[in-house]
Structure 1
C-alpha cells in the first residue's frame, strides 16, 4: 500500500508505469473528484491513498479496483480518514495492508470498515468468525485504530466500542447472538456530598460489564466541587442481568447511590 502526498508533491509523487517507475508524472492540473478515473499510466494500485489535503483528510481519495477515485467519507466529522468496506474487502487483512500508514500517520485514520472475513478477527481477537456469522448480511464491523476498539452493528444498532485487548472472538459472537435477546435495565442514582467524596467519585464507567450491556446518562446531571448528582442507565440482555448488577454494586461501593430495576411501565 502506498500513500501519495499530492498536495506537496504533485510533480514527483506519481510515477509512470510505462517507465517502470523511473519517471514521474506531473499531475498539477489534475482535479480530483469522486468516481473520476485516474491516469492509465499512473503507477498506483487498488487501496492506495491519494491525498490533496494540506490538513488531515479533508481532500483524500482511495484508488478502487476499477481505478476510480473514491473520496474519503469521514464518519468522524473531524477530518479523519475512514477506510470503507468497498476498499478493505479487497484484501485478506485490512490492518496488515494499511500497517505502514497506521504506523507513519497514527493520527490520520479513525475508522476501518471490515468484512466479517477480514483477518483482524484472527490477528486481534484470537480466531476467525464462524461461518454462521460470516454469512450474515445484517452485521457490520468498524475498527478504530486510534483507541484500538471494535464497534459492532446488528440490525442497525451499534455497540459501544470493545477494546481489542479485552475481548475475544467468542465475546463478539456472544454479543451478536444476544443482540435480539430481551433487554432489561436498572438505574444508578447518585447523590454525592462533600468535597472529599466528590474527588473520589469515578469519572469513568465500569469496563467489566457483561457483553451486550451498555451504560448511558439518564436525565440531567449536576456537578460541583462538593456536590455531584445524577443517574446512569444500564441496559443489556436479561440473561446477564445479575452479573451486570453485581458489577455496578462493586464499582460504586462506598458511595451514596441507589440501584433500582426499571420496570416495563416506568
Structure 2
C-alpha cells in the first residue's frame, strides 16, 4: 500500500511505470474527481491513497480495482479517512494492508469498513466467522483504529462494540445470534459521595461480564467532583436473559447503594 501526498509534492510523488520507476509525472495541473480514470502509466495500485488536500483527509482519493479515483466518504464528518468496503474487500486483511498508514498516520483514519471474511477475525479474534454468519447480508463490520474497537451492526440495531483485547470470535457470533431478539433494559442510578466508596467504585459494567448481547452505557448526564460522582448506567439486551443480567448488575454494584429500575416501570 502506498500513500501519495500531492498537496506537498505534486511533481515527483508518483512515478511512471514505463521508466522503471526512475521518472516522475508532474500532476500540478491534474484535477481529481470521483470516478476519474488513473492513467495506466501511473505507478499506483488498487487500494493506494492519493491526497490533494493539506487538511486531514480532505480531497483524498483511493485507487479502486478499475484504476479509477474513489473519493473519501468521510463518515466522521470531521475530515478523516474512511476506508470503504469496496476497497478493503480487495485484500485478505485490511489491517495488514494498511498497517504502514495506521502506523505513520495513526489519527488520520476514522473507520475501516470490513467484510465478514476479512483476516481480522482470525488475526485478532482467533478464528473465522462461521459460514452461516458470513453469508448474511444484514450485518456490517467497522473497525475504529483510535479506539482499537470493532463495531458490529446487525439490521437496524445500534452498533455493538468489541474490544480487540480479550474478545473471541465466539463472543461476536453469540451477539449476532441474539441481536434481533426482543430487548429489555434497566437503569442503574448511583450517587457516590464518600471517599472510601469513591475509591472502590467500579464504574461501568463490562459487556464481557454480561450475557451475550447485553451492553452498559451512560444514561443521561454525569456529574462529579472531589470524591464524588453521580449518574446512571443503562443496561440493555435480550429479554430472555434479563434476569441474569439484573443479578450480575446487582452483585457488581453491591454495597454502593445503587437504585436499579426496570425501564418502563
Tell me if both proteins adopt one fold, taking TM over 0.5 as the criterion: yes
| 1:154 Cα deviation from its structure 2 partner | 0.7
Tell me whether 1:253 sits opposite 2:254 in the alignment. Answer: yes
Residue equivalent to 1:238: 239
The alignment partner of 1:50 has SS state of strand
1:55 counterpart residue number:
55
* Unmatched 5+ stretches in structure 1: none
- In the other structure, the counterpart of 1:101 is 101
Residue correspondence of structure 1 range 1-266 to structure 2 within 5 A = 1-194=1-194, 197-198=197-198, 201-202=201-202, 204-207=204-207, 208-225=209-226, 228-263=229-264, 266=265
Structure 1 runs (4+) deviating above 6 angstroms are none
Q: CA deviation at 1:254?
A: 2.8
Q: CA deviation at 1:204?
A: 4.5
Q: 1:237 to 1:57 in 2, by over 3 A?
A: same
Q: String of CA shifts for 1:185-213, please: whole Å, max 9, x gaps.
A: 12212233346645654555535333311
- Partners in 2 of 1:204 and 1:161 — Cα distance? 14
SS of residue in 2 equivalent to 1:161: strand
Q: 1:257 offset after TM fit, Å?
A: 0.6
Contact persistence 1:142–1:151 (CA under 8 A) = yes
1:21-65 deviations in whole A, cap 9, x for unaligned? Answer: 111000011112222222232110110000123232122110011
In 2, the alpha carbon distance for the partners of 1:250 and 1:210 equals 14
Rounded Cα–Cα distance in structure 2 between residues aligned with 1:22 and 1:211: 56
**Bigger shift: residues 233-242 or 138-147:** 233-242
* Cα root mean square deviation, aligned: 2.1
When residues 148 and 218 of structure 1 are mapped into structure 2, their CA distance, relative to the original with a 3 A threshold, is: closer
For these two proteins, the number of residue pairs brought into alignment is: 264
